Copies of this chain bind each other. A is one copy, B any other.
Amino acid sequence: MTRGIRDDRPDIMTLMIQPVILCGGAGTRLWPESRGTRAKQFLPLTGTQSLFRQTVERTPAGTDFLPPIVLCGDGHVATVRDQMDTSEASLLVEPMPRNTAAAIALAVASADADTLLLVMPSDHVIADVRAFHAAIAKGARLAQQDWLVTFGITPDRPETGFGYIAGGEPLGEDGFAVDRFIEKPPLADAEAMLATGGYSWNAGIFLFRAARMRDAMLTHCRPIFEAADRAVAAGMRDGDALYADALQFERAPSDSIDYAVMEKDDRVAVVPASMGWSDLGSWHTVHALGQKDADANVVTGDAFVHDSRGNLVRAGDKRVSVIGMENVAVIVDGDDILVMPLDRAQDVRLAAKARE
């Protein structure tokens, strides 16, 4: 097995890809394990490796990929260094959170003009890495033609928690011009899109030439790019890390890359990708993707589970005994214990808010 992204059409790829891994954001949807500086992406939610570590290994430095740029907040630097060999990476440290547009602008400002930047969240699962690499190869061809490329996940359910992308004109065999972006839809709209076809979920993975994105930002969200550009120029280097200048960076308006650029630009492409993607956005999803025992329980840690089906039990450093339960989550983290039905997983924010 090879993971080389050139396998698909080796004669077309001419540049190595620069991975950009976004580690900002904490998220409370997986509370209590995800909180404070111990964000979701640094937790081993599937198997033994953290989602961040899995993301790093998905684009290994070598013949296809350059060593990654890791964008993270000050509070996450130690964890990043703990979970990867940062001598093989560049850290770009955000002095404060300013959402994805400003974070990506930092990477763009510090990259050479012709570099192809592959921007990836660090807290997603991609089960089929070969399919991911094949999609990147397609996206790279489009990016070299100055498309801003996004990757679209084919929906398998009428999910209301994601944004959707409507594909338009085909771009050879590599993808489609984006017709429009659709914000998180009501259920009826989600069902209609699922039935109609031609829509995909916006997975928040992007590929583009650095100069192309810089120009797009200067057109669509100039204050964001300029603040980031100055923050890089005035930044302080500390070994493997560049700390963006706080006084400059805090001037950047906080906006998502979708709102600030992608929805406004007229040359955006989507590359459909069926690659076992999940945002692992709730305990329900962690259970769905987890390794199940004969009774469909997903169990980690010291747990005694008897006459129980379909539960997610994460015992942390405690000892959990579950008898006669079905389809519930029992999540232990430190001194916090969360118990709820898995189909109420979206309500975990209530507990996180009450507790933190």
Q: Does A328 contact B (CB under 8 A)?
A: yes
Instruction: Identify which of residues 152-204 in chain A touch chain B, using a CB-to-CB cut-off of 8 Å.
Output: none
| Chain B, residue nearest A347 (CB) | B323
Chain B residue at minimal CB-CB distance from A317: B335
Let me know if B344 and A323 touch, CB within 8 A.
Answer: yes
A320 interfacial by beta-carbon distance below 8 Å: yes
Chain B contacts of A325 at CB under 8 A?
A: 328, 339-341
CA distance A351 to B347 in the complex (A): 29
Total copies of this chain within the assembly: 2
Residue numbers in B under 8 Å from A125 (CB-CB): none
**Which positions 320-356 of chain A face chain B at CB distance < 8 Å?**
320-325, 328, 330, 332, 335-341, 344, 347-348, 350-351, 354-355
- Asked if A319 meets B337 with Cβ closer than 8 Å, knowing A304-B355, A325-B328, the reply is yes
Task: Report how far A18 CA is from B322 CA in the complex, Å.
Answer: 44
A298-317: CB near B (< 8 Å → 1, else 0) gives 00000010110000000101
Q: What is the size category of the interface that chain A forms with chain B?
A: 20 to 34
Is A81 in the interface zone, CB < 8 Å from B?
no
Taking the complex as formed, is A237 at the interface, i.e. its CB lies under 8 A from any CB of chain B? no
**Residue A318 is within 8 A (CB to CB) of chain B in the complex:** yes
Closest to A343 in B: B324
Contacting B at CB under 8 A, from A77-120, are: none
Which residues of chain B have C-beta atoms less than 8 A from A32's C-beta? Answer: 321
Contact residues in B for A330 (Cβ distance below 8 Å)? 337, 339
**Which chain A residues numbered 185 to 226 have a C-beta less than 8 Å away from chain B?**
none
Q: Known contacts A336-B318, A337-B332; decide if A323 and B304 are in contact (CB<8 Å).
A: no
- Contact (Cβ within 8 A) A318 B335: yes
Residues of chain B within 8 A (CB-CB) of A320 are: 337, 339
12 other contacts beyond A304-B351, A319-B335, A325-B341, with CB at 8 A cut-off? Answer: A317-B335, A318-B337, A320-B337, A321-B336, A321-B355, A322-B340, A324-B340, A324-B341, A324-B347, A325-B339, A330-B339, A332-B337
